[in-house]
Structure 1
């Protein structure tokens, strides 16, 4: 009835019968009147009352309309069905038009099974026989009224306990509205002939349940099922033996889908058995005078880069570097970085990039994990790196010019199967994991990408990505292995003048994350011809905005599969702008979303993505357990290959479209991306767990004002709270002590993890919910966090974490306060001289926006520091870490100091008394990436 009140004609049955010439129409009408009088349900009307909807049985006799022949049958049927068979009106009508008998009835009083009984009784009465005795409908109504609701609720609650909730949640008042009808005729089945016709619907229901379960990614499936309510017992109660069949164990992939998927992945790119540096040297011989690198700090031709890296490689070999010796490098953006990378490879070593902004503890952990004995650093990174490894080599003009010339050619000791890179990514076990990428992996992948993107001489590639991100390999080698020019901005230009640099350097190829793209516009970049968006899901608006101005590609791929695995070219007309396209350097398979890689998922069904191909990494460094879990042998369903390849389980969820393209859906684990950087929440939680201030912790991401924020929910270990209510915010009465603990916790995390892994939103609760196992009830916490409004939490948190704010005093500080307020969407009153841009929610992308709005360059590039941080730093004895004149560091620093002295007279050599190594805290505060700060300090330095 509810549906009928919304849509006229819904749930109304209508039947038309033609009377044979021998049928007495009057007797039919009389027989029908008798049937109606014997069955109260046919005389029932539904009425609304304060007690709810009631059934009211009327006493009046049923009367069949007798209409004249001038009434059109189809018009009558249409008009009758459109009548409001709703509350208070008769729900059973009959009419006769030219020996056509029309019955109209509402589903609320009649079902299809009842029709059989109605016509059986009608025929009996027509022929003068007594109808069958039937229990009145009121008996069924009485049965329903006497159901024990408590027992029924307990039964169904028990039945569905632990069943995942339907997502997305259907809003109250939602009414489905069918717009299309699909009819499928099953002409043949593999159901055995021994199965009775009556049981075939059960097979169809099971097939539908399996299909719906596959597309909903759930073993618990709910769908509408119409039952007669008259089903007798099946007679199997006393049968011996197991008769169960678990439906989820049945294969879901049909032969047609399997054939299509195998065809899409039939061709696998060939493995290119070459080394990266070999290909570069060959290119240098082809075009020695062509510009290879145009950086802010220098230009290099292919010949110059080849010769410089040869000389440095010779020195590295002299220091013991071999194919099994990884070498770390720590550089800001510079042409010396490229020299160092090729030198490491030519010496036979594996490159291990380390971000200069990483905390000392993070750097040390990577160096220890990779068993590194030698580090190549820039002049700027020397002071903060001297204690990290036994051997530190500064790569700059002085050190390279002091190296011996190459006599002959370097003996080739490296093979394509040796490691080219070890890229450390976040690990869920609490420590970073090193992805081992062989030369042939990267060369094979790069060769496929070059063919896809038509990289060639004339390509001017921007080197924007951090060296620790695998996309940087695509930038560097995508340019230099195929005759292009690599354009490298300074870190300052990268943050505050990117568009200007791209234009002035005539960059025509770039890789960006969507986050960076939001800070740019096509009008600012007239030279840019092609661009790859990678690292984050791309929004539909990007295809419209950028697809008109240049060739726009959406790329996807894990580091473990060498840079990019699939690519989609997007245009403003793209039907699926968020598609990640088709495989470009591999085969991509989607398996059942259950942790079982032995079964392919049907087309359109969400599952885990596997990557197969020559670009798949060797595994994780010194981690056989995680390697075995992620790098699996060839599954049984895979096609036979001449040279079997590894399969990598990405943990990414995706689905095939009907044309073979792939749509990215999300992650199936706790891996997230912040600012394009992928990491495991488990690693962050392990660090927080190790902090003595924390009892329990839960981390997640949440969209706040259009940005992805990293949220930490913590239970503090020490406060003696008056109550321990589950997921109750710590009261304002404990605000001071809470803020003290949070400052300690945040400082603890910042000293151990990269800045993008430090939560930007902190919530303190009295107690966490726990499951019966004693573990945190992560589902309950996630639901609570999802429903929680964080719009006011950030400002309240910043108020607690900040010391007493000192308002800006100079015009420059007031300008920064205004710009920060605009970019961070915070009131100016919450920004003082002690405020930290990062702690207020900033990041390097927002810093670019700040810099673009500040007309005074030196104000836009302040690095993070605070008077509170300086005051809390440990004092260093005067003679500790003093740089003695005997070592070569002063000469290295001389050129750097002379440059600094031009802009700052206090840094001229004649004004310097002594030079000390910076403390770890100072080095961290002055690191290139983490943050900006608005800071003022007055008073003598020794107070």
Structure 2
């Protein structure tokens, strides 16, 4: 996979008419979205529509849209007193809880970009991420301080600093953050080398959120299971899609905990990896309320899809694909009951996917090539690593796609 943003001076070997046809086949029709807004503003618009509706559930606790907004506002105002503003990175290292959702929204509302740090990660990995990101602020909790490696960030403990935070205003903030500012930096696994921080701007995630609103209904998003660590980009879908369109985020420590959740029968959409859904099937742990199953992150076998459809309540199973460098998902396919094969499908809205050969030319139908991805979802690049950005984000696709 390659990422691409700009233009190449090479000529294509295929005639223009064939190139145009392939572009139509490999991308969704360009969608017109209001993209000059930020992630948290979509949430704030939803707060105005449904202030009393439940926004997030964790164990036996829950927050309405209004309560979540007010708590996030208080923390955001506090963060602004610490000079959090656009392009300022704020680490977030919290156990899964309502406070974790409050923290994510607060960082965005203050104008900053969040950098998730999993407290379960080895100290060496956390140290690498802290050093590489050069965080100025770190949100955490008192019992996690001893697990953190040495760092230079200013600590904000959501529990011990609670009194100072709750004295702040509950009103929405004024911020100069724009859709071209950073929203988050998620580190890759490092399976192909050192972990790299992928820098995603607001407009990229807003495009994903709008696409999701077109594909999934209000009923589908009524209760979205959020079981993925915020250090993985599947969490961006699980958290911000429902919060942008009036659904509930149902937090869980792990997807396999689903059958034991108090709110299990409120889950309507599961967004996870194939191995997790296979185990849920084995233990008969998928509630009758679930309508939609989204699968990503691992190769998907058709046999598994057809097993999912043996449950009468399942209406749709989607196969989703995309690297962190392209805002969670780049392509999607609805795999239907009775289908014989599974593909990665078509590009999501405002995304370009092309197969190119070693000379960066589009390959004819039926010929193998390397997948290049571009469009609104493309990351700004790798944080603090311009040489890696130049290597992986190459100037090719935009000119080809616009030809």
Give me the TM-score of the superposition, normalised by structure 1.
0.39
Distance 2:114 2:128 in 1: 16
Give the whole-Å Cα distance in 1 for the aligned partners of 2:19 and 2:350: 18
> Could you say which residue in structure 2 is the equivalent of 1:524?
285
- Deviation, 1:585, is 2.6
Question: Could you say if the C-alpha distance between residues 320 and 266 of structure 1 is closer, same or farther in structure 2, counting changes exceeding 3 Å?
Answer: closer
Cα deviation digits, residues 675-727 of structure 1 (max 9, x gap): xxxxxxxxxxxxxxxxxxxxxxxxxxxxxxxxxxxxxxxxxxxxxxxxxxxxx
The Cα shift of 1:428 comes to 7.3
Asked which structure has the greater RCO (Cα within 8 Å, sep 6+), the reply is 2
Q: Could you say which residue in structure 2 is the equivalent of 1:533? A: 295
> 1:315-363 CA distances to partner (integer Å, 9 max, x unpaired)?
1111121112100001222111000001101111100001111122211
Q: Distance in 1 between matches of 2:149 and 2:210?
A: 38
CA contact (8 A) 2:350 2:375 kept: yes
Decide whether the 8 Å contact of 2:84 with 2:112 is kept in 1. yes
User: 1:629-648 to 2 correspondence within 5 Å?
Assistant: 629-635=391-397, 638-640=400-402
Q: Determine if the alignment matches structure 1 residue 588 to structure 2 residue 352.
A: yes
For 2:140 and 2:60, how far apart are their aligned partners in 1? 15
Answering whether residue 367 of structure 2 is matched by residue 605 of structure 1, we say yes
Report the CA distance shift for 1:602/1:437 in structure 2 as closer, same or farther (over 3 A). Answer: same
- Report the CA distance shift for 1:584/1:496 in structure 2 as closer, same or farther (over 3 A): closer
Secondary structure of the residue aligned to 1:498 is: helix
Is this contact kept in 2: 1:323–1:349, CA < 8 A?
yes
Among residues 494, 500, 523, which one is paired with 2:260 in the alignment? 500
How many angstroms does 1:252 deviate by? 5.9
Residue 569 of structure 1 aligns with which residue? Answer: 334
Match of 1:543 among 305, 315, 318: 305
In the TM superposition, residue 400 of structure 1 has moved relative to its aligned partner by 5.8
CA contact (8 A) 1:386 1:392 kept: no
Q: Distance in 1 between matches of 2:39 and 2:231?
A: 18
Which of 343, 348, 355 does residue 579 from structure 1 map onto?
A: 343
Q: CA deviation at 1:541?
A: 0.8
The equivalent of 1:5 in structure 2 is none
In 1, Cα distance between equivalents of 2:220 and 2:159: 28
Match of 2:203, SS state, is helix
Change (3 A) 1:371 1:603: same
Aligned match of 1:384: 147
The alpha-carbon distance between structure 1 residues 444 and 304, as it changes in their structure 2 partners (threshold 3 A), is same
Aligned with residue 556 of structure 1, among 315, 321, 326 = 321
Note if contact 2:233-2:328 (Cα within 8 Å) is conserved in structure 1. Answer: yes
Q: Which residue of 2 aligns with 1:681?
A: none
- Residue number among 244, 247, 264 corresponding to 1:484 in the alignment: 247
1:103-132 CA-to-partner distances (Å, cap 9, x unmatched) read xxxxxxxxxxxxxxxxxxxxxxxxxxxxxx
The CA distance in 2 between the partners of 1:520 and 1:289, in whole Å, is: 32
* Distance across 1 between alignment mates of 2:352 and 2:309: 26
How many Å apart are 1:572 and its aligned residue?
2.7
Q: CA deviation at 1:256?
A: 6.1
1:59-208 alignment, distance < 5 Å: none
**Contact 2:88–2:112 (8 Å) recurs in 1:** yes
Partner of 1:719: none
Change (3 A) 1:386 1:299: farther
Task: Tell me: CA distance 1:305–1:636, structure 2 relative to 1, closer, same or farther (3 Å).
Answer: closer
1:638 is paired with a residue whose SS is helix
Deviation at 1:487, TM superposition (A): 0.5
Maintained 8 Å contact 1:503/1:527? no
Structure-2 residue corresponding to 1:513: 273
1:306 paired residue number: 69
Deviations 1:79-120 (A, max 9, x none): xxxxxxxxxxxxxxxxxxxxxxxxxxxxxxxxxxxxxxxxxx
SS in structure 2 of the partner of residue 393 of structure 1: strand
Q: Deviations over 1:25-51 (max 9, x none)?
A: xxxxxxxxxxxxxxxxxxxxxxxxxxx
- Could you say what secondary structure the match of 2:279 adopts? coil
What is aligned with 1:619?
381
Mapping 1:675-754, distance limit 5 Å: none
Determine which structure has more spread, i.e. the larger CA radius of gyration. Answer: 1
Partner residue, 1:261: 22
CA drift of 1:407 comes to 7.2
Query: What displacement does 1:432 show?
Result: 1.8
> CA-to-partner distance for each residue in 1:278-329, whole Å, 9 max, x for gaps?
1111111111110001112621110011010111011111112111210000
For 1:635 and 1:290, locate their aligned partners in 2 and report how far apart those are by CA, in whole Å. Answer: 43
Q: 1: distance between equivalents of 2:164 and 2:80?
A: 17
Q: Is the 8 A contact 2:29 2:349 kept in 1?
A: no
**Shift of residue 405, structure 1, vs aligned partner:** 3.2
Q: Structure 1 residues 297 and 626 mapped into 2: Cα distance closer, same or farther (>3 Å)?
A: farther
Q: Is the 1:351–1:421 contact (alpha carbons within 8 Å) kept by the matching residues of 2?
A: yes
Compared with structure 1, are the counterparts of its residues 541 and 401 closer, same or farther at alpha carbon in structure 2 (3 Å cutoff)? farther
Deviation at residue 495 of structure 1 after TM alignment: 7.0
Q: Which secondary structure state, in structure 2, belongs to the residue aligned with residue 521 of structure 1?
A: helix
**Structure 1 residue 262: Cα displacement:** 2.7
Shift of the alpha carbon at 1:639? 3.9
Q: How many residues align?
A: 387
Query: Which runs of structure 2 are paired with 1:665-680 in the superposition (5 Å)?
Result: none
Distance 1:606 1:547, change over 3 A: farther
Residue by residue over 1:857-881, the C-alpha shift from the partner in whole angstroms, topping out at 9 and shown as x without a partner, is xxxxxxxxxxxxxxxxxxxxxxxxx
Task: Give the RMSD, CA atoms, in angstroms.
Answer: 2.6
User: 2:85 aligns to what SS in structure 1?
Assistant: coil
1:447 is paired with a residue of what secondary structure?
Answer: helix
Is there any run of 5+ residues in structure 1 with no aligned partner, and where?
1-248, 642-943
What secondary structure, in the 3-state scheme, does the structure 2 residue paired with 1:531 have? strand
Give the 3 Å change call, closer, same or farther, for CA 285–378 of structure 1 in structure 2. same
The match for 2:116 among 349, 353, 374 is 353
Q: How does 1:722-801 map to 2 (within 5 A)?
A: none
Q: Partner residue of 1:809? A: none
